[in-house]
Structures are given as structure tokens and as C-alpha cells.
Structure 1
């Protein structure tokens, strides 16, 4: 493995920064440490920003199949073809079988932290998680870490565990990660810049050195459209070279976590 990386280094050193359009964005949509505000502020606002990215020819990638459970019909209605919708349904059935193999159940996913934050069922969590994907058509459903070749909104089959999910998305071609959190997370993910959005102002105040955006402003009256536009501007700035908070703090080397054999929700 080390030898293979060394062979790539001369080629990597030839890379030079150059202007590219927003259509080259491939944005991984992530949420972790979700709370009752996730589906009200940060996730819908990220979805609005995602719609703007898609309108400019870019790509947004939703993951965490185990966390769309119970709300998958919302996504299948947006599938560009019945075949694309069926791919997601097949993934859901696979997850039901996969969790059953280990004596678990996919419909009992909210963590203790989620419940303390106000989420009571996987269905509440799923509805909030799906909001990150905006409103545009679902153009494809791909396997874990599969190369993403379709533009627009794509769903990647990943576990809900954030480091494993983001590893697959970045391996598939995502060049920016946007991560919403209500309970707080110090998530970063090298080599892709990670942008963190707080769902509420209290969290943002407590973790401001590690939070890029405060979506809690929506609870004080900021509109969804204004918040979504702000998120898009931050994505463009950081994709253009401005360090995100996690990059500035040098966080993210430990998050690389491929999907290992065994029960991973």
C-alpha cells in the first residue's frame, strides 16, 4: 500500500489549482449527533443549498441508507426512472436482512444521544436526514464507494456511522463534505474539506471554533432561502481554498474508516 502511494506522489505533485465551475462540486451530505432541530433548520437549509448546486450542474450525494429507513418512499417518488427507485428499495431490503443476521433491527436506529436531543424514532430521524437531499430528482443509486458518474442528486448505499459513510462518499468522488449536527461533533475528514453546520445557536456558541455555520439563526427568523444561500457561499469559499474550521484545527486524519465486515449501522 505504501509503495502504491509513493508511485502516485509525483503525479499528485503535478496538480495545480485552476478555476473550475461549480458544476465540478460533488458534495457529500452528512449528519451526526442529530437533535430535534436537525430536521427544522440545518438539514432543510443544506437541502436548499444542494438544490442550488444541482441547478448549477453539480452533484450532491446522500448516504446513510439505514437512516432513510421509513422515509424511502419520499426518495423513490423522486427517482428519474422506476429502475432507479427500485435500486433504493432493494438496498432497504438488503439492510433489513443484514441487520437481522446480527440479531439487530434497522428500525431501532436512533442513538441515546439522538433521543436526548429530542428524536424518538427512526422515522423522525429519517425524515430529517432526507431533508438534506433537497427536492431535485434522484438520478442514481450507487454502491458503497462506487465511482459517482451521474450528476445531480445521487444516493450512495452506506451505513449511518459517519466516518464509514463519509469514507465511502469521498472514495466515490465527493470533494467536499457538509456535516450537520445538533448534539455536537468534532468531525473532520481529510482529504476532503469538511464543513460543519450547527442546528442551533447554543451549540454554535459552545463549539464555535469547530463550527463553520450557525443554522440556529433560522429559529430567530432567518429564512430557509437565506440560510441555504449562505451555506452555498461557504461551500464555494472552502472549495476555492479557504480552510474550513476542521482543516484549520488539523482535524480529520483519524476519520478514514472503510466499511468492515460485520454489523455496522
Structure 2
């Protein structure tokens, strides 16, 4: 079953609000509790009663499940019963497990041309057109550090502007961002970790949400600035400059020099107006974190619906987090536009199998503690819900971590499941806005890309209303639909891309989430 049919099943099969559980597909032998269900509660049209208390968002058996039998949700395998499970029983860690297995792949079975709207009917947004043709949704100056040793200097320069009054009187500029990290030296320059770091720094330097970039290094580090710029085909000019502490004569002199450069860049950045731009200039990072049992029912498929609208209007939607599509990758390979695209996705899955094995781990290390508390039992269950963020459009391309995204439409980037690392890769690839679904309450911002937080359930949305931009909880209770919520997300994306602040921006969050993938040995 494709993710498109998963989404439609979630919409059409949702029972009335009188039922305390949601059965997502006719093939399922478990349903999801809409709210906390007490022992003895009738399970509505699914029949039977709850044999014990079932927490909100958790699964309850709606048919007998024999020991060793498949547990199904979304019409897909999510695990195996470790003992016989009677109807009405809570289904979770105590009676269900994951086992290794391979799913059948039918490459390109659902591939079709992307159904683009006629150009005259496509939505637009107000963005910053850059000289290279990219379009920014924000107008920042960035301080890119080559090594941890220059982090203090970069933060001091950013603080001068953002908190020390240096932005006073500045119009049409969003601020100064210090992109600091813990690496840059004592790494193998021939290894994947160095390649990822270099590619990430170069990708941020060309992200269209930055009007100007100052690259700041120590001077003697392994990760030399000129090598980073060379690998990313970057050339110094008025809006791309570099400094090293050792060449400048120390920290205070470097700070002073960088402040002078940034002042010049701010003057130039302020002259760039927002203008009407096509959605081909929009690259949207699709993310989920702090997921719960409602994620695959409400916010994720709603975001998938919005992603389809973005693609149909000529934009790009970027799914990532490879460990969180594990077990659901067959739904994506069916949508691949060519066998080569499907094979590349499978090759990344195989890389992860090898990588986790070498490190004494397994892909089912995920879900996290919070995911499990929210009702997710195995990575298969989490992945089937997570992949719904990708909507139903054809899969146009698969990218390695932090690679430049050079195709429009729906694409995939190989990243870890850890949100800050994943988003960092997407922004390095060119994403200029982030849509982030959460059930437990993730609160990160991701400068320079504005981040829209989308709640899976109303209880968390109301409890954390200062952090959540959109509520999809009504889908769970039957008061909303995936289509209506998806349309709201789409409209909010256009508004935020055009300058409206997301809540994380209102509170100026997002300075600490730049986390390049720390892969490889440090010597």
C-alpha cells in the first residue's frame, strides 16, 4: 500500500467521535486510543471492551492475535506478538516485538508524472531573490566557523549585533547567526565525517536565507577554510569573506574585524527587497520529532497533504531521517521515478544496517523513550507514520547528507533520525523553511530557516501553546480532517516564507541547533 493510500485510509476510515479508538485500515488488528481509555470501556464500532487501561495514543487489540502472529497498523506489519493477545488488550512493549525481515520492493510501481498546476494557477510567496537565482525566506548574515576553536569569536560577534545593540536602526535584516560546532580538527580528511562537515559548512554558506557570510577559523585547523570553499565552489567577494584568528592577531582583533565586515554586509543586505517569487524557490524540510501514537494519524499525513500542494505548485519537499523510514522504505521505492532513484534509497538503508552493526547497535534502537511513552512500540510503526510526511508525489531524487538539492518536487535526503543533525543536513542542502511535527512537544528553532511547529494532539498543543504554531489534534477527535489541516499548513508555509514569524522566531530560538553529523573517529 502506498503512503497515498495510507493517508486516504486514515481519513476515510476514521470512525465517529463516539468511538474511543481509531482503526486506520480494515486489515488492522489493533486500533489507537483517541484518549485514555479505562478498563471496561466499550470500544465502539470495533466491538468488545478494553481489558485494561489503555493510555492515550496507545494501541488496543481489536481481534485475537496469536503468539508469533503479525501485528498490523496502517494495513502494514509493525511487529509480532510475543504471546497470545486477546481483543481489548493494550498492545505495547509487554506483548509485542520487532524482528528482522525484508519487505517486498516493487520499484516505480506507483511512479507517475508530477501533477503540476498550470503556471498561471500556482501560488507565490514574497522572498529575497539572490544573485545566484536562489530565493531566501529570511535575510540573515551568517558567521560560519571552520573549527570549534573559532566558536567563541563567532558568538561574540553575533552577540554584538543581536544582544549588544549592533542591530539598532537596521531594517529589513533578520539578524546575525553564529554557526558553531564541536569539530573541525583531529579528523581524517579522507573520511566521511570530514566530507560531511565540509559539505555542511559550504552548504550553509550558500543557503539563500543568508545575504552574506563571514567564515571564521583559527588558522591551523585540519578543516581549512580555503578547502571548504574550494569543495563548494565558493569565491570570496563583498558578501562572502573569511578571517582566521591567527592571521588577524588574536581574538579581540578578529572580533573587531568581523564586526566591521558584518556592518558593511548589513548595509547591503538591507537594500534587498522582498519580491513576488514562484514556489520553485521554496525548499521545505519535512521533519518530525518527539513523536507519539498520533503522529502518523494526524500531523504527519496533514503535513504530507501540504507537501503535495507545495510540489504541485512547483516547490520542493524534502523528507529525511533514514532510520525513521526503515521498514517503510518500500512505500517510497514504489514512488521512485526511476529504478536508479529507488536503488539509491535502498543503498542508504544498507549503509545504515552496516553502520549500526559496526557500532554494536540496531536500527530498532529508535523509537526513543518519549516515543514509546507516547504509544510507539517499534521502529516499523514509527517509520510508517513518519513516511506519511512525504505525501504521495513521485520521488524525484535521493541525496546524501548535506548535498545540494538541485531538483524540484518530492525528494529524500539521507540523514540520522536525530532532529538537529537531520535539519542541519537539509538546510545545508538548500532548505529555506522547516515544517516540524511533534506529539510530545519538540521546541527547537533552526536559524536561518524559520521552523513551523505542528502539534499532533490538542492536549499538548494547549499545554505548550507558546511553542506550537498549528494544531492537528482535531483529526484525532474527528473535529478536523487531514485535507483541511493540510491546507492550513500550506497556507502557513506561504505566510512564514513571506516574512510572518513562526513562534520559535517570535521568541528568538534557533541559535543552538546547528549540528553537523559528527561521523568518524576523532584523533
**TM class by shorter-chain length?**
over 0.9
- Contact 1:28/1:60, CA 8 A, preserved across alignment: yes
Which string of whole-angstrom CA distances, capped at 9 and with x for unpartnered residues, describes residues 10-47 of structure 1?
A: 36555332111223210000000000000000000000
- Tell me which residue corresponds to 1:168: 425
Task: Map 1:104-253; keep pairs closer than 5 Å.
Answer: 104-221=361-478, 222-253=480-511
Q: Cα gap change, 1:124/1:58 in structure 2, threshold over 3 Å: closer, same or farther?
A: same
Distance 1:206 1:103 in 2: 38
How far off its partner does 1:51 sit?
0.3
State how many pairs are aligned: 263
* Runs of 4+ that moved beyond 3 A: 11-15
Distance across 1 between alignment mates of 2:322 and 2:345: 9
Q: Distance in 2 between matches of 1:4 and 1:185?
A: 30
CA offsets, 1:101-148, max 9 Å, x none?
A: 110011331101100000000000000110000000000000111000
User: What does residue 261 of structure 1 align with?
Assistant: 519
How far apart in 1 are the matches of 2:315 and 2:451? Answer: 17
**1:181-238 CA deviation, whole Å, 9 max, x = no partner?**
0011111110000000000000000111110000002123311111110110111111
Residue matched to 1:86? 343
CA-to-partner distance for each residue in 1:236-258, whole Å, 9 max, x for gaps? 11111000000001111010100
Distance 1:189 1:143 in 2: 20
Residues 69 and 107 in structure 1, CA contact (< 8 A), matched pair in contact too? no
**Local SS of the residue matching 2:343:** helix
Contact 1:195 1:244 in 2 (8 A): yes
Partner of 2:294: 37
Distance 1:211 1:171, change over 3 A: same
Distance 1:176 1:254 in 2: 17
Residues of 2 paired with 1:160 and 1:4: CA distance?
Answer: 28
Residue by residue over 1:132-181, the C-alpha shift from the partner in whole angstroms, topping out at 9 and shown as x without a partner, is 00000000000111000011000000000000000000010001000000
Runs of 5+ consecutive residues of structure 1 not aligned to the other structure: none
SS at match of 1:4: strand
Is the 8 Å Cα contact of residues 294 and 476 (structure 2) preserved in structure 1? no
Q: Which residue of 2 aligns with 1:95?
A: 352
User: What's the CA shift string for 1:40-64, capped at 9, x where partnerless?
Assistant: 0000000000000000010000010
- Kept in 2, the 8 Å contact 1:23–1:53? The answer is no
Richer in strand (by share):
2
- Per-residue deviation at 1:261? 1.8
Aligned position for 2:80: none
1:4 maps to: 215
Structure 2: runs of 5+ lacking an equivalent: 1-144, 146-153, 155-213, 217-237, 241-261
TM-score under structure 1 normalisation? 0.95
Structure ID, larger Rg: 2
* Maintained 8 Å contact 1:212/1:245: yes
Contact 1:32–1:180, Cα closer than 8 Å, also in 2: yes
Higher helix share: 1
| Paired residues of 1:146 and 1:171 also in contact (CA < 8 A) | yes
CA distance in 1, matches of 2:341, 2:320: 15
- What secondary structure does 2:393 align onto? coil
Structure ranking higher on relative contact order (CA contacts 8 Å, 6+ apart): 1
Write the distance in 2 (CA, Å) between the matches of 1:104 and 1:135. 32
Once superposed, what is the RMSD of the aligned Cα atoms?
Answer: 1.5
Counterpart in 2 of 1:72?
Answer: 329
